[in-house]
Structure 1
Amino acid sequence: MLQDIRENSQGTIAKIIIGLLIVSLSIWGMDAIIGGFSGEPEVATVNGEDITEREFMRVVQIESQRQLSRMETPDQSLLNEDQIRKDVLESLIRQKVLTQNASEQGLALSDADIDALITQMPQFQVDGVFNRDRFVSSVRNMGMGVAEFRETMRKQYVINQIRTGVVQSGLVVDQNASHLLSIQNQTRDFRTLTLPASMVSDEVEVSEEEVASYYEENSDAFKLPEQVEASYIVLSLEALAETIDVSQEDLQSYYQERAADLAREERQASHILIEDGGDAEEVMKTIQQRLAEGESFSELAEEYSVDTISAEQGGDLGYAGRGVYDPAFEDALFALKEGEVSEPVATSFGLHLIKLTDVRKSEVPPLAELEEKLTRELARSRANERFAEVRTELADLAYAEDNLTVPAEELSLEVRTKEGVTRDGGEPPFDHAGLVRQLFSEDVLEDGYNTELIDVGDNMSVVARVSSYQEARQQPLENVASDIRDILTRQKTREALAQRAEEAVASLRSGEDASALGLGEWTNHADQARTGSSLNPVLMAEVFSLQRPQGETVYGSHLAGDSATIIALDEVNEGEVDADSQEYQQLTRFLSTISGQREYAAYQEYLRNRAEVERP
C-alpha cells in the first residue's frame, strides 16, 4: 500500500492538487484550506443552515466593544450581556435569512470578485499595492480567519445589494411632498395676552393640613437615601508631577534640547484653489503645465483661484505657523522648500496648488521667560514615566492594608474625605459608577476593606474606603414643610391660572372684548413661521395646533411656568412651494428614502417570519 501511495503522489493529478494548495496557502494562509472543514457547535439553525458559536461570540465581542466605546467612562460591568447576546443572535438570524434569499435570487460573488474587492481595499495596501501580510494581520486583529473574513464580505455584499435595491425603489407622490412642504412653510397671524401669576395670587392659600396631607401621601419623596462618608486617595499625573523636583541644571539642559522647537517657524504660502469635482483634475493639469512652461504663479492664481480674496494678491495667504491650516494643507506646506510648488492637495475646500514663498523663524525666548512652563513640562514628563510604577505600588498597598494612611504615607499622597455619597454617586470622583458600586459592595461597606484601585479618568486612579455609613431615613415634616408649601403654592397657582385662562377664552369666544375683561392689550404677531421665531417654541407649537379660522378668530391658551398666555389666531397663510427648489428636491429624496427603508424593514420581517429557526 505504501508503494501505491508513493507512486500516486508522483502523478499529474496529485501535482495539480499540491500546486493549488501551495498557491492558496501563499495567498490566503491556512484558513483558506481548513476553514470549512472543522465542525463547530452552533447557536441556531436557520432553514437548515447553522450559525456557529464562534461567529456568534465574535459578533458579541464586537458589539460589547462598540457599546463600551460609547461610554464616557468605559466599564464592562455596566453592559447588559444578556441583552447583547439576544440582540446579536437575532441580528445574525436576520442576516442569514437575507443571505439565503440573495442566493435564491442568484445574487452572489465569485471568489475572483472577492479577491478583487479585497486587493482594492486601501486598509490592506502598502504604497498603493495590496500587501498580504497587512491583510492577514488586519483580519487576525478582527478575531477572524481569512476564510471567515472572505465569507463575511460575500454575505454583506449581497445583503447590501438587496437593501440598496429595495430602498432605492421607495416612491413618493408629488402631491404628498407639495402638501408637506406647504404645511412646513405655513405662517400664521395671531395675537397674545399674558396672564401673570400675580393676577391670581390673592386666590391661592395653602393650609397646614394640606402640607401635612401632601407629606403623608408623598413620604418617599422626603426620604434621605443611604449614604457614606468616604476616605479616598487620588493618584493623578498632575499630582505626581507636583511632587517631582526639577533642578536648575536639568532645566537648563531641557531648555537647550527644546531650543529648536521653541523657535517658532512661520511660512508664507500662496495657493491656487480649484473647486473639486467635474473637470477639476483637467484644470489642475492645465495650471501645472502652464507653470512648467514658466508662467507666473500669482497670475495663474488671479485667473483660476476660486479663493477670490487671496487671488487678488496673487494667491498670497501671508505667514502662518502650524495648527492654522487644514492638516493636509499644512503637511504639504511644511514639506516644501522655499520657492517650490506642491502637487495638488485635496481638502474640504477643494484642490490646492501650494507655493512656499518665504520662511521666517523667531528668536528663542530666554530661559527666564519659559522657566515655569518648561519646569512643568519636564516634571510632567518624568511623572509620566513613573505613573504606571506608582499606580502598581498604590494598588498593592491598598490591597494589603486595612486603611489608607499607610499607602498615603508611603507614596506621599493625601487622604481626602467626601460626605454624602449615595448609591447614585456624588461629586467627582464619585461620579464614576464603578467606584461607587465598589464602595457599596459587601466587602467594602460591611467588612471594612479598601476598594480596588479604580481608573476614573485618563491618568487618574482612585482607591477609597467607607469612613462612616448612614442608613436611609425619613426627614421630619418640620424640615420639609417650607418646600412642600412652595410646591403646593405653585400647583394651586397653575390651576388658578388655567381656570382664569379657560374663562377668558370662553368670554372672548362669546364676543366680549379683552379690555372689558380686564385682560390688558393684545400683542400682535404677524406672519410667524413654525421655527425661527423669537417666541417660546412650546407656545408656537400651541399656536400651530389650533384649527384653521373659518371667518372668525380661533382662541386658545398656553400654560407655562408662572404665567398663562391667551392666543387669538386670526389668519393662516399657506406656505410657498417651488417644485424646482433645492428644499423641495431634498424633501422628495428624504420621503423616498423613508419609504424605501420602511419597505426594506417589512421585507426583512417577512423573511424572518417565514424562516424555520431552531435553537439548541
Structure 2
Amino acid sequence: MTQSLRSRALALAFSVALLAPVAMAQTAPTGDFIVALVNSEPITNAELRAEVQRVTEQLRAQRQALPPPTELNALVLERLVNDRAQLQLARETGIRVDAGAVDNAEQAVARQYQISLDELHKRLAKEGLSVAAFREQLRNQQTLTRLHERDVERRIVVTEQDIDQYLADPKNANTDPLAIEINLAQILIAVPEKASPERVAALGQVAQKTLDRLLSGEDFVKLMQEVSAGDAKNGGQLGLRRSDRYPQSFVAATQKLPVGGYSEIIRSAAGFHILQLVERRIPTASEQTMVVTRASHILLRPTPQEPEAAAVSKLKDFKRRIVAGSVTFASLAREYSQDASAAAGGDLGWANPGMFVPEFEDAMNRLAEDDISEPVVSRFGVHLIKVTERRRVALSPKEVRDSVRNQLKGMRYDDAFVNWARDVRSRAFVELRDAPQ
C-alpha cells in the first residue's frame, strides 16, 4: 500500500505538469481572492480553479463521471486544505527534500514521457508553468510521501496473533494458479518426427476416437495401456507437482477441469495428448512461493563527456552486436559495465521481487528468458538487461509471515491514512471564506 501511495503521488505530479492547460497559478491574477486560510497560510481562488480544472480533465480522460460543480469545488478545496496542513506539519517536524531528490523526480517525469529535460521545460512554458513552480510541486509531493511513510505506517500494528489468524483462515489459501499442485495422467498418441501430413492426420483421428471412447465411459487405464506411447506405469500418471513444473499447454488445458475430467486433445512435438486430472491440491496460506530471476546487465553511468543519450546509443549498438552473434553479453559487460558485476560478466545473481529499483525491475519482468532489453534508464544510469533464468521457489516460514504482515499492513493502510489525515486536519486552524461581493 505504501508503494501504491508513492505511485499515486508521482502520478499526481505528472498530471499537474502535463495534463492541465493552465496548471497551478504561480501568482494571483488581478481580482483574485482568498478562499481558505490554513494556519494563516492562504489558498487562493486561482489555485482552487486551476486544481478543479486539472481534476476535471483528469476525470474526463479516465471517462469517469464528474460530480456537480459545487460538490467538485468543495471536494477539491478540502483536499487542498488537507495537503496544506500536512505540508506544514512536515516542515515543522523537520522533513526536508533536497535539490538532488527534486532533480531525480524531474528527470523521472521526462523519462515517463520519453522526452528530454529541455523538451519538458518547453512544454511547461507553453502551459504557463515555470520550471521553479513545477519543481516546487514535485518537492511538495515528495514531502507528503515522506510524511505519510513516517507518520501513517507507524500507526499500523500487526500482531503475531493477527498473522496466525490469517494463516489459519481457509479463505486465504494460496490460489496462485502456478502454485497449485496437480497430478495428471496422459494418453499419448505419438507422432514420428518426419511423419507425412497424411500420417499426422490419421494419428489425429486415432486420438479423437480415443477421446470419444473415454467420454462414452470406457476406462482410462485400459485405454492408456491399449494405445498410449507414454509411460504406462502407475496408470499413466505424471505425478503430483506444482503447475509451473508442467508444460504450460497442459496447465491451460486442465485448469478448469473437475477432478477426474478429461482435456481436449493437445498437440505437441511428441504427438497428441489426452489428459486426465487425477488430483488438484490448493496450497494453504502458509505455503507460498515466489518467482526469482537471474539477470545480467551492462551499466553505463552518464557523464558530461558521455551524456545519457550517448550511453543509450552505445548500449543499442551493444545489443545489435550481441544479437548478431559477433560478441557475447558477458564479454561486453566485463569490458564496459561500470559496476561491481562487471567482473562476473554482468551477472547479478538470483533476485527476489523488490530487490531492484522499480524502473529496472519493471523492464526485467517484461523480458522472457534469454531476452535482452532495450536500454533502460534508472537513477543509477543506463542499463542493458538480460534475463538468463527464472524459477519458482518456496518461501520459508519466516518469509511467509513477513509476506502476510505486509499484506495486512496494506489492507489496513487506507483506514489508518484517513484517521491520521482527519487528526492533522482537526489540529489545524482552518477558515473558509466566501467570494467577495
TM interval, shorter chain, is: 0.3 to 0.5
The alignment's TM-score, normalised by the length of structure 1, stands at 0.30
Higher relative contact order (CA 8 A, sep 6+): 1
The structure with the largest alpha-carbon Rg is: 1
